């Protein structure tokens, strides 16, 4: 999961950098004929980041580390610098150096303190580094920034149990149940389809058969966007978590006309857990 999430964020980061208009700096003018030395050309942070990303994708990890490291110091744009730290953490994680990976991810949270995805990656990095206390702290940040992230509640409850904080774990689970039930109610009763779709997306972080059955019932929603969100959520939970899920999705394929919904259902059925 850590690797997949980091890779997903890297793709999004690259798009952000491109949208920000990161361009190659002009080359330095040629020195006068009498000069004995010349100034080094300025490092192009965007180009370094792109090289690092390509190297990471091709498992050229030492090259990825080198380029991302240079990009972290060359970048003046905070988004690009955060992206470079994120890539550096992913590269170190692939190398198995989890201490350096979390050090890089911590820099991402400094630059993107209000981004729950940054804290999610840090939590996964802390888990890989064997630091459950810090993993729990990062998950608390995720929940504070994204209270509908049901998976974060469950992860935090599990970590609290592992580190001997049974009472804290029970409190987290109570908070989880409150949010889960609110989301189920929103899925069934909200007037706006956007609100129902958001509820379905949130419920994808749950891991129980009851939530899966609620999503199955919502597969009949009149709005295609809600049906897509429900199918995607079931794919995240697992279509074999309850005996009703897989047959309901298969039956849906026989009558569903919307191509986006059909694709979401196919993807859910193909998901392996």
**Residue-wise pLDDT tens digits, 203-229:** 999 999 999 999 999 999 999 999 999
- Tally of domains in the chain: 2
- The residues near 219 (Cβ < 8 Å, ≥ 6 apart) are 227, 230, 231, 248, 249, 252
Is residue 53 one of the residues assigned to a domain?
A: yes
Flag whether 133 is in a domain: yes
Last residue of a domain, one of 143, 167, 189: 143
pLDDT of the residue at 42:
52
**pLDDT surpasses 90 at 15:** no
Counting Cβ atoms within 10 Å, is residue 213 exposed (0-12), middle (13-18) or buried (19+)? middle
pLDDT over 50 (residue 72) = yes
- pLDDT of 1 > 60? The answer is no
In a domain, 39, yes or no: no
Do 123 and 206 lie in one domain? The reply is: no
Asked whether residue 103 is assigned to any structural domain, the reply reads: yes
pTM: 0.78
Tokens coding 2? 């850590």
pLDDT at 8: 41
Last residue of a domain, one of 143, 162, 186: 143
pLDDT in tens, 42-52: 579 999 999 99
162 has pLDDT over 90? yes
Same domain, 124 and 182: no
Range of lowest pLDDT (32-36, 137-141, 252-256): 32-36
Q: Verify that 61 and 137 share a domain, yes or no.
A: yes
| Residue 61, domain CATH | 1.25.40.10
- Say if 105 falls within a structural domain: yes
Greater confidence, 201 or 3? 201
Q: Does the residue 34 lie in any domain?
A: no
Q: Quote the CA–CA distance of 33 and 164 in Å, as a whole number.
A: 72
In angstroms, the CA 64 to CA 74 distance is: 15
Average pLDDT estimate for 67-91: 96
Instruction: Return d(Cα 254, Cα 249) in angstroms, integer.
Output: 9
Residues 136 and 189 in one domain: no
Domain match, 119 and 227 both: no
**Does residue 74 or residue 12 have the better pLDDT?**
74
Confidence class for position 272, pLDDT limits 50, 70, 90? confident
- The domain in which residue 231 lies consists of 176-270
Query: How much is the average pLDDT of 6-22?
Result: 41
User: How many whole angstroms separate alpha carbon 148 and alpha carbon 52?
Assistant: 33
pLDDT of residue 210: 95
What confidence score (pLDDT) does residue 164 get? 96
pLDDT reported for residue 7? 42
Whether residue 94 sits in one domain with residue 216? no
In this structure, the answer to whether residues 10 and 103 fall within a common structural domain is: yes
Q: Mean pLDDT for the chain?
A: 87
106 lies in the same domain as 181? no
Residues 126 and 202 occupy one common structural domain: no
Q: Output the six-digit token pair for 20.
A: 């920000």
Tokens of 94: 């692939």
pLDDT for the residue 21: 37
């Amino acid at each position: 999961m850590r690797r997949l999430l980091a890779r997903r964020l890297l793709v999004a980061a690259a798009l952000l950098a491109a949208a920000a208009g990161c361009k190659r700096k002009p080359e330095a003018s040629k020195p006068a004929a009498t000069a004995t030395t010349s100034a080094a050309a300025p490092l192009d942070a965007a180009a370094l980041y792109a090289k690092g990303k390509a190297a990471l994708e091709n498992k050229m990890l030492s090259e990825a580390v080198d380029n991302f490291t240079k990009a972290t110091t060359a970048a003046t744009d905070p988004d690009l610098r955060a992206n470079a730290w994120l890539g550096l953490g992913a590269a170190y994680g692939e190398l198995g150096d989890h201490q350096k990976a979390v050090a890089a991810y911590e820099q991402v949270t400094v630059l993107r303190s209000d981004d729950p995805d940054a804290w999610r990656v840090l939590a996964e990095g802390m888990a890989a580094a064997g630091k459950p206390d810090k993993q729990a702290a990062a998950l608390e940040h995720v929940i504070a920034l994204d209270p509908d992230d049901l998976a974060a509640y469950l992860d935090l409850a599990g970590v609290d149990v592992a580190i001997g904080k049974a009472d804290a774990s029970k409190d987290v689970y109570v908070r989880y149940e409150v949010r889960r039930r609110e989301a189920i109610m929103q899925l069934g009763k909200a007037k706006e389809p956007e609100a129902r779709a958001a509820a379905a997306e949130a419920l994808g972080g749950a891991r129980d058969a009851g939530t899966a059955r609620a999503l199955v019932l919502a597969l009949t929603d009149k709005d295609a966007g809600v049906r897509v969100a429900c199918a995607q959520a079931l794919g995240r939970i697992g279509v074999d978590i309850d005996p009703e899920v897989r047959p309901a999705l298969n039956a849906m394929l026989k009558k569903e006309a919307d191509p986006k919904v059909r694709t979401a259902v196919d993807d859910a059925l193909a998901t392996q857990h």
